[in-house]
Amino acid sequence: MIMVLNMINQVQLIFKNYYSKQLLMYGGYLFFIALFYLVLISIISFFHFMLGHKISEIQEWILGYGWQLIILSKLMAFFCIFQIIGLDAYYKDLYRYITEKKIKKFDRNILILILFTAVFFITLGQPVIIPHHQFQMIRFALALVGITAFYVADLILIVALQIVYPLDKRTLVLRLLIFPLLFLLSSKLTYTFAENINIFVWGQFFVTMYLLNIDRNNYLSVLLYITITSAVFVFCGGDPVWGNLFSIFKFEKPITGGLIFGWLAIVVMYMNFKRSKTLLKIKRKIHLWST
């Protein structure tokens, strides 16, 4: 009996921890996404079967409207988890959190990061033209909006969780390691029809979380990073949902885990170096020598 009471007390202590609360809320959000997506797919399949359509036709329809279904399921889950958190009570805190300092226009370091990411994957992936494929501007625009919402919805929730359940720097590092993995696994298990949800999706989410961790006022720069790098990947046939089905290019060389980890290592080292105290000291010394 005493052992059971001790276990209950330990569980209570765990859930009093802010990191555990963030983990629980984010996990609940991912669960709601899967639930609403399953409901949407079930309703769609029911009406298709009523019309006498084959399973292959239903699968093609779901794939064709893949981004719409993803965005809708995320928005529904987003609304539910915000109601559970009770974010209305933290509206002023959210506004203050965002406007506490002036939002930076565009971080030059992130602009360099955008250019590096595009050149890195184009050079190593070596995109080639797919014969007899026609570029569809509507599909490209839809995929770009879908990918942006795919990442941004989760990032907004994570910013909100940081307001309600603030974490210190050490715990933010732990969150940075765990949340992108949950993001990838849930996306992979939920959107089973998707052609190309792979380790790059994890890497992309990791980078965006990392950029917001080191400077929360970089919203515009992070949004620009997501939009441009996603546009490059979609154009080169790296769409997470459609792959190269509606693209005139595809990567000739596979984007392997080794490339992703190499890219992440360079990104993290560069951003840390640019923001390190060592660099500031070097700049001061150079300034003193020049004067």
Buried-exposed string 256-273: b where 16+ CB fall within 10 A, e elsewhere: eeebbeebbeebeeebee
Contact 199, 257 (CB under 8 A): yes
Q: What is the pTM of this model?
A: 0.84
Residue 132, pLDDT score: 72
Name 100's Cβ contacts closer than 8 Å, sequence gap at least 6: none
Range of the domain at 64: 2-290
For residue 102, the tally of other CB atoms under 10 A from its CB is 7
74 vs 215: which has the higher pLDDT:
74
Residue 278 pLDDT > 60:
no
Give CA separation, 135 vs 227, 234, 257, in Å: 19, 11, 28
116 burial type by CB count under 10 A (0-12 exposed, 13-18 middle, 19+ buried): middle
Q: Tokens in use for 234?
A: 């979609």
How confident is residue 289, by pLDDT bands cut at 50, 70 and 90? Answer: low
Q: Return the H-helix or E-strand segment holding 126.
A: none
3-state class (DSSP) for residue 128:
strand
Least confident window among 104-108, 207-211, 258-262, 267-271: 104-108
Residue 226, pLDDT score: 92
Contact 58, 48 (CB under 8 A): yes
Residue 237, pLDDT score: 85
Residue 246 pLDDT > 60:
yes
User: Radius of gyration over alpha carbons of the chain, in Å?
Assistant: 22
Least confident window among 134-143, 154-163, 245-254, 271-280: 271-280
Task: Give the tens place of pLDDT for each residue, 93-125.
Answer: 666 655 555 455 667 888 899 999 999 999 998
Structurally, how many domains does the chain consist of?
1
Least confident window among 97-101, 130-134, 152-156, 204-208: 97-101
Residue 3 pLDDT > 60:
no
CA angle, 202 then 197 then 108, to 5°: 45
Task: Give the tens place of pLDDT for each residue, 8-67.
Answer: 444 444 445 778 888 999 999 999 999 999 999 999 988 888 888 888 888 888 888 899
3-state class (DSSP) for residue 251:
strand
Residue 193, pLDDT score: 86
Residue 10, pLDDT score: 45
Q: Tokens in use for 67?
A: 């981004």
Query: Which residues does residue 250 pair with via DSSP β-bridges, in sequence order?
Result: 128
How confident is residue 238, by pLDDT bands cut at 50, 70 and 90? Answer: confident
Which is nearest to 196 in space by CA: 138, 125, 261, 267? 125
| Maximal CA-CA distance, the chain | 82
What is the C-alpha to C-alpha distance for residues 210 and 277, in angstroms, rounded to an integer? 19
Residue 7, pLDDT score: 47
Average pLDDT over residues 233-247: 86
Average pLDDT over residues 77-102: 68
Residue 285 pLDDT > 70:
no
Q: Tokens in use for 12?
A: 């209570």
Residue 96, pLDDT score: 63
Task: Give the tens place of pLDDT for each residue, 179-235.
Answer: 999 999 999 999 988 878 999 999 999 999 998 888 766 778 888 899 999 999 888
